Amino acid sequence: MIFSTIVYELHDGVAEIRLNRPHRLNAVTQELYDELNEALGRAEADRDARVILLTGEGRAFCVGADLKEHKAGRTPFDRRQYLQGEQIVCKRLSTLKRPVVAAVNGYALGAGAELAIASDFIVMSESAQIGLPEISIGNFLGGGVTMLLPRLVGLAKARELVFFGERIKGDEAVRIGLANRVFPDEGFLDAAREFAKRLASKAPFSMQLAKEQLNFAAESTLDAALRAELEGMMFVSTTKDWQEGVDAFAEKRAPVFKGT
């Protein structure tokens, strides 16, 4: 499978997807959304892909929309298709059966920030910045960020980030609960890959169920959550990975999960 705007590689259980428009700081286009959606589908279908690592080539993660694409002659239908492309990709990131790690290696602005927020984990380099400038330029938010962001940082802080549109660095993002880790600029991608590999060593079925339930918890009741957890515990106990976990604990060794 050959892509024009992304790079897709699979190593050690991690499907690495790199946005590959460094000459435009990985600004998004319709083609990039289409290819990213296709790559995510490929990763989800591949049993060897336990975790998705999303990052950017060059000195930016993604600076948002490529304004050169917003040229005269585009019909309202064209614009809607483009905008819906982001919605489709962000929903897929949120609902994918695999955990997604956004490795923010530089600027993550606008749609770039929304891609990161739709992921399960955000790790940032020391010099990286993330921000939502849409309101400041008369635009509006996408990618489900109006629901996802308050769940991460609380409503008051979400209002501040959205209304002011200010960029924040990794340390502040971690402090407010937006990001998970900050790694040094030097060796950042290696550190992000190691973070993803640690996730890839966990039991796939257990991670899938945990992602589903954590994402739906805000829309659920306690009784519904308890029922879902009971069914989840019963299901994983029928897998070979469950027995491997039990055996490894008893034998004082690291488990080797196979997704079976």
In sequence order, what DSSP letters do the residues of 12-38 get, joined into one string? TTEEEEEE--GGGTT-B-HHHHHHHHH
Per-residue pLDDT, 90: 96
Q: How many CB atoms lie within 10 A of CB 4?
A: 11
Can you name the residues that pair with 182 across neighbouring β-strands?
124
Q: Which of 115, 85, 92 is nearest to 102 (CA)?
A: 115
Helix crossing, 222-236 with 204-216: angle to 10°?
170
Query: Which residue is listed with tokens 């997704």?
Result: 259
Per-residue pLDDT, 78: 81
Q: How many CB atoms lie within 10 A of CB 86?
A: 24
Per-residue pLDDT, 84: 87
CA–CA gap between residue 109 and residue 106 (Å, rounded) = 10
CA–CA gap between residue 161 and residue 63 (Å, rounded) = 16
Which amino acid, 15? A
CA–CA gap between residue 15 and residue 123 (Å, rounded) = 16
pLDDT tens, residue by residue, 38-83 = 999 999 999 999 999 999 999 999 999 887 776 656 788 888 888 8
CA–CA gap between residue 248 and residue 229 (Å, rounded) = 23
Q: Which of 17, 92, 98, 26 is nearest to 53 (CA)?
A: 17
User: What are the extents of the domains in the chain?
Assistant: 6-200, 204-250
What is the SS3 assignment for 63? coil
- The two tokens of residue 212 are 């589903």
Per-residue pLDDT, 198: 96
Per-residue pLDDT, 108: 98
Backbone angles phi, psi at 169, to 5 degrees: -95, 175
Per-residue pLDDT, 75: 82
Below-50 pLDDT ranges, the chain: none
CA–CA gap between residue 236 and residue 234 (Å, rounded) = 6
Could you confirm whether domain 6-200 is CATH 3.30.2130.10?
A: no
Per-residue pLDDT, 230: 93
Query: Which residue is listed with tokens 């959606």?
Result: 37
Per-residue pLDDT, 217: 82
Where in the sequence numbering do the catalytic residues fall?
A: 114, 134
